[in-house]
Structure 1
Amino acid sequence: MLYTHATIITVSSSREILLDGAILVQGSSIVAIEKTGMLLAQYPNEPTTDLTDRIVIPGLVNAHMHCAQTLLRGTGDDLELVHWLCERIWPLQGNFTPEDGEAAARGCVVEMLRGGTTCFLESMFADRYGFDGLCRAVEQSGIRGCLGKIVMDMPTYAQDPKWAMHPGLVETRDASLGGAIDMWEKWDGKADGRIRVWFGARTPGGVSDELYKEMTALSRTKGIPITMHCAEVLADRDFFASRGDTPSSYCDSVGLLGPRTVLVHMVHLDDDDIAAVAASGTHVVHCPTSNAKLASGICRLPELLRSGANVALGTDGAPCNNTNDLLQELKLAGIIHKARTLDPTVISAETVLEMATINGARALGLDDRIGSLEVGKKADFVAIDTRKVSMQPWFNPVSAVVYVATGKDVELVVVDGKEVVRGGKVLTMDEEAVWRELRVRAAEVVQRAGLKDKIKSRWHVR
């Protein structure tokens, strides 16, 4: 297929933008990208799709996501992290069935695809959610998924007994680490290479030093990447300090720092932490909406970028963001640091788009295949429709994408050379069946958890 007459933001090494550009896709790859007139002359017999008045970008990479939590959207509003976890999210997730987990995963990938996300990193999918169901959802939908299977052996948060996990979520070392290896052997590389299985370690304080060291050793020998929350809230920093450590020194002591590790949030870092992360090649994921909504703080993104650290972007889960729309995350990432630093130039729109594309691909070890639109790379791209009042006028296409567009403006999504969204509709799944099942299963989980009376409007409803 030859996609023609688009404004193409390539995010290539030269950061070239093509006006009236075209992309030729053969199989799963981009075989040509040039001005429309040139490609029409070279390939006169190719079928074409006219993308006049659309902005084409590389497929977005959501580098931090909790798929199961899509079933829990709106159940934990206006709470800080520890109470959010202990009083709402863990009790709800502890009452999941595998069927609930698969329904949540299907809803999550449909929403992400409709919003232009073509690849994502699931943070820590638990056994009770049914990892096979998550993989089936990725396989059927056509999205790319790097899927973190939870690794843990302690039932508390920051080793504090009053912050205990719901019993239904607790996994032993054998079930979590062994289960991750089993799922890696079963699913890694499946779905034409779109599925990758990762270690999804719990936050320090939920995993023993011994298990971290065992996991990081396996990561090195088997080539399994690791993702983990770190330094998200002040309580995390206090935990590290109680051991005589900082976030970076602790991670280094158990083998977590390095280019195969993606650390998420990283809000509470000092200058030495930032330098250590950058020097080690460890990747960081910025989740501004989640950090703001849970009152966790604001990541020192400008300092991380200046240090040379690779920083990607993530939405986090639906109960702490309320949407899986990464395009909306771009805007907040571009403006919140201007307010913190009182400098409107500190983070540009171009930097934010890099975080959501090539930086995300680099964090996932996929930058040789995705993250930019270049000949030889996978045909993963998104067309944003500007034929509407809310998108007009625009003068800088990057600004239009970062500061204006939302998932509702996405018209076309191509992953691995296949159209998975066209006309704003997902082609690979029955959207109505997905949302109807989400509604039913969410109500059942809330009922089983005994939280029906707590999850409701504060205002009188009759």
Structure 2
Amino acid sequence: MLFGNAMLFTNATLVTMNPTRDIVTDGAIAVEGPRIVQVGKSKDLRGSYPEEQTIDLGGKLVIPGLVDTHVHLAQAMLRGSADELTLIPWLCERIWVLQGNYTEADGYASARLCIAEMLKSGTTTFLEAMLAHRYGFDGIAQAVEESGIRACLGGIVMDVGTYATQTAAMHPGMIESRESLRGVVAMHDKWHGRADGRIHVWFGPRTPGGVTPELYREMSAIARERNMGITMHLAEVEADRTFLQSEYGLSPVRYAERVGLLGPRSVLVHMIWLDDGDVALLAQTGTHVSYNPSSNAKLGSGVCDVQRLLDRGVNVALGCDGAPANNDYDLIREMKFGSLVQKAVSRNATVLPAETMLEMATLGGARALGLEREIGSLEVGKRADFAVVDLHRAHTVPAFRPVSTLVYAATGGDVDTVVVDGRIVVSGGVLRSMNEAEILAEANARAAQVYRRAGLSGAMTRSAWPVL
């Protein structure tokens, strides 16, 4: 018998991601409060819980909630703002200029837009990379609390307004002092553990060139003292490696080790320009990597050698990055591209199969965030975070191999129901925890205002083809 806020979800195919990777046909999940209390066959659980609220999932696929390990909430409103640009002009000419004109209200509106998209496409947990002070940390944390999603919020740490080999390139509206470190500590004191434990506060320092070694070391010491996570872009473009070799005579990962950035509470993002010594050091220190294939491909940055990392024992998770670098926050789409690009560059059709991609998007993400005991699989005692995907559609039928169909044929638009902490936040494809129409209207209006303030109104509607 279930008590209190209890539900029984029946008649589904469950991809459990448990240690033996069981797939349960005609499966059911019993949920009490925020946790899973039983997983099994529908006939067995119906008999055990005859009086509980029952939701028949109509034969759909249930997967653990997806975990996006690299997100820029503030960039959701900048979708399509910097297409066909490489990273440094992308940042210096568009993204920093636009973000440098944000208000806190803009930050809140963009966060809600991003969260709405993630929830509707099956992402139940995410790691935000760099929340600048101007975006309004309080408002963004409130958006997380209101929406029902689970979040690790990386507050920005910086003290230099440059990027790698570029000098005087950052928009003044994006430059912060070393006091940014104290600001993140204050937000940790205020928000960490809030929203019934769904909010975690991390450090999100800028890439080397934007932070002095002394500030990195100070931040790393505080992170160890407080058991805080650290996430940072590293080795994304060749300029990152060139800068660190020129300035310090070190590779990206060796530099990160020198300033205290490696370890099991660190998630390093992109990680394309690595040598074998870098990979060995990541494995030795238990440092996690977030693989962002669409962003890296779109910006022409290169391709992370994921198989090499996995072969050496490095935990690799998956991330979408931001809307201007990917154009969506759909982790189901990301699984497909993440697999295919590795097959293409290696000319090996066997690398990163569908099962590995789903592991990266669930358990790999949970491990990276230090939450593997709470999320990442459908197991008794874990948080009731899961997504229900409708594979009975023209582009997904037949689905004899559901994991393969999910990764190679489905999209986030096929998600029907999403549950976080035992709360239904999406049902019938409709967002239930927030007003989607209001979110979209506000994001459109505020994005137009940001473009105008940045002096980039022309870029907002510029088309390569004539618009009549």
Aligned to 1:187: 191
Q: Partners of 2:390 and 2:253 in 1: how far apart?
A: 43
Tell me by how many angstroms 1:45 deviates: 1.5
**Which residue identity is paired with 2:133?**
D
How far off its partner does 1:247 sit?
Answer: 1.1
Q: What does residue 360 of structure 1 align with? A: 365
Letter in 1 for 2:76: T
Q: Deviations along 1:269-300, whole A, 9 cap, x unmatched?
A: 11111111011100000000000000000000
Asked if 1:325 corresponds to 2:322, the answer is no
1:141 matches 2:185: no
The answer for the alignment partner of 1:267 in structure 2 is: 272
Query: 1:191-243: CA deviations, max 9, x gaps?
Result: 00000000001001110000000000000011111000000000001012112
Q: Offset of 1:161 from its aligned partner? A: 1.4
Q: How does 1:3-402 map to 2 (within 5 A)?
A: 3-158=9-164, 160-162=166-168, 164-174=169-179, 176-242=180-246, 243-402=248-407
Runs of 4+ aligned structure 1 residues displaced above 4 Å come to none
Cα-to-partner distance string for 1:286-325 (whole Å, 9 max, x where unaligned): 0000000000000000100101000000000000000011
| 1:452 matched to 2:447 | no
Partner AA of 1:231 in structure 2: A
2:438 to 403, 428, 433: 433
Contact map agreement 1:159 1:206 (CA 8 A) in 2: no
CA distance in 2, matches of 1:200, 1:180: 9
SS in 1 for 2:26: strand
Distance 2:464 2:457 in 1: 13
The aligned length equals 460
1:403 aligns with 2:408: yes
Instruction: Return the alpha-carbon distance in structure 1 between the equivalents of residues 229 and 391 of structure 2.
Output: 38
Q: Is the 8 A contact 1:189 1:196 kept in 2?
A: yes
How many Å separate the matches in 1 of 2:110 and 2:64? 26
SS at structure 2 position matched to 1:454: helix
Q: The residue matched to 1:357 in structure 2 has which SS?
A: helix
Equivalent-residue separation in structure 2 for 1:16 and 1:194 (angstroms): 27
Is contact 1:154–1:206 with CA below 8 Å preserved after alignment? Answer: yes
CA contact (8 A) 2:26 2:59 kept: no
Q: TM-score, normalised by structure 1?
A: 0.99
Does the Cα contact within 8 Å between 2:234 and 2:268 map onto a contact in 1? yes
Confirm or deny: 8 A CA contact 2:118 2:329 kept in the other structure.
yes
What's the CA shift for 1:43? Answer: 1.5
- SS of 1:320's equivalent? helix
Q: Which residue number corresponds to residue 3 of structure 2? A: none
- Aligned equivalent of 2:422: 417
Secondary structure class of the residue paired with 1:124: strand
Consecutive unaligned residues in structure 2, runs of 5 or more: 1-6
Contact map agreement 2:13 2:60 (CA 8 A) in 1: yes
Deviation at 1:159, TM superposition (A): 5.5
Q: How far apart are 1:156 and its partner, in Å?
A: 0.6
What is residue 4 of structure 2 aligned with on the other side? none
- Are the counterparts in 2 of residues 9 and 57 from structure 1 also a CA contact under 8 Å? yes
1:380-404 per-residue CA deviation (whole Å, 9 max, x = no partner) reads 0000012221221111111011111
- Indicate the percent of aligned positions where both proteins have the same amino acid: 56
| TM superposition score normalised by structure 2 | 0.97
Cα deviation code 1:142-164 (max 9, x no counterpart): 000100000000001015315x2
CA distance in 1, matches of 2:406, 2:385: 17
Cα distance in 1 for partners of 2:129, 2:424 equals 26
